[in-house]
A = this chain, B = another copy of it.
Amino acid sequence: MVTMFDVAQKAGVSKATVSRVLNGKNIVRPEVTAKVFKAIEETGYRPNLLAQQLATKKTNFIGFVITNALYDGPYFSSLVYHAASFSEQHGRQLVMADGKHSAEDEKNAINFLLDMKCAGIIVYPKYLTEKDLKAIIDSTLTPIVVLNRNLSSDPQHCITTDHYSNASLMVEYILKQGHENIAFIRGLSDSSTGIQRLCAYKDTLKKHGIEVNQERIVAAKWTPESGYLAAKKLVKSGVDFTAVLAGNDDMALGAMKAFMELGYHLPKDISIAGFDNSKMGAFLTPSLTSVSVPLEKMIQKGILILLEEYQSAQKVSTEGCLIIRDSISRQANNKV
Which residues does A use to contact B, with CB under 8 Å? 19, 21-25, 27-28, 30-31, 33-34, 37-38, 40-41, 47-52, 54-56, 68, 71-74, 76-78, 80-81, 84-85, 87-88, 93-98, 100, 112, 115-117, 223-224, 228, 250, 253-254, 256-257, 260, 279-280, 282-285, 287
Please measure, in the bound complex, the distance between the C-alpha atom of A73 and the C-alpha atom of B74, giving whole angstroms. Answer: 6
CB atoms of B55 and A115 under 8 A apart: no
List, in ascending order, chain B residues with CB within 8 A of A94's CB: 68, 96, 98
List, in ascending order, chain B residues with CB within 8 A of A87's CB: 98
Please measure, in the bound complex, the distance between the C-alpha atom of A49 and the C-alpha atom of B250, giving whole angstroms. Answer: 42
- Cβ contact of A224, chosen from B21, B117, B279, cutoff 8 A: B279
- Cβ contact of A22, chosen from B56, B78, B287, cutoff 8 A: B56
List, in ascending order, chain B residues with CB within 8 A of A285's CB: 256-257, 260, 285
CB atoms of A49 and B257 under 8 A apart: no
- Cβ contact of A116, chosen from B28, B50, B228, cutoff 8 A: B50
Nearest-CB residue, chain B, relative to A35: B30
Given contacts A77-B76, A95-B96, A256-B283, contact A24 B25 (CB under 8 A): no
- Cβ contact of A84, chosen from B37, B71, B283, cutoff 8 A: B71
CB atoms of B19 and A21 under 8 A apart: no
CB atoms of B27 and A41 under 8 A apart: yes
Please measure, in the bound complex, the distance between the C-alpha atom of A285 and the C-alpha atom of B288, giving whole angstroms. Answer: 14
Other CB < 8 Å A-B pairs besides A93-B112, A253-B280, 11 of them? A25-B52, A27-B38, A68-B94, A73-B74, A88-B100, A94-B96, A224-B283, A228-B283, A257-B283, A257-B285, A260-B285
Please measure, in the bound complex, the distance between the C-alpha atom of A258 and the C-alpha atom of B28, giving whole angstroms. Answer: 73
CB atoms of A34 and B25 under 8 A apart: no
Nearest-CB residue, chain B, relative to A279: B224
List, in ascending order, chain B residues with CB within 8 A of A47's CB: 23-25, 55
List, in ascending order, chain B residues with CB within 8 A of A40's CB: 24, 27
Which 4 pairs, one residue from A and one from B, show the smallest C-beta to C-beta distance? A30-B30, A77-B77, A68-B84, A72-B81
List, in ascending order, chain B residues with CB within 8 A of A96's CB: 94-96
Please measure, in the bound complex, the distance between the C-alpha atom of A2 and the C-alpha atom of B94, giving whole angstroms. Answer: 29
List, in ascending order, chain B residues with CB within 8 A of A228's CB: 283
Point out which of A68, A76, A253, A260 has the most chain B C-beta atoms below 10 A from its C-beta: A68
- Cβ contact of A280, chosen from B37, B85, B93, B224, cutoff 8 A: B224
Nearest-CB residue, chain B, relative to A66: B84
CB atoms of A77 and B85 under 8 A apart: no
- Cβ contact of A51, chosen from B21, B55, B280, cutoff 8 A: B55
Please measure, in the bound complex, the distance between the C-alpha atom of A49 and the C-alpha atom of B257, giving whole angstroms. Answer: 53
List, in ascending order, chain B residues with CB within 8 A of A34's CB: 30
CB atoms of A74 and B77 under 8 A apart: yes
List, in ascending order, chain B residues with CB within 8 A of A55's CB: 19, 22-23, 47-48, 51-52, 55
Point out which of A34, A49, A98, A283 has the most chain B C-beta atoms below 10 A from its C-beta: A283
Nearest-CB residue, chain B, relative to A109: B93
List, in ascending order, chain B residues with CB within 8 A of A72's CB: 77-78, 81
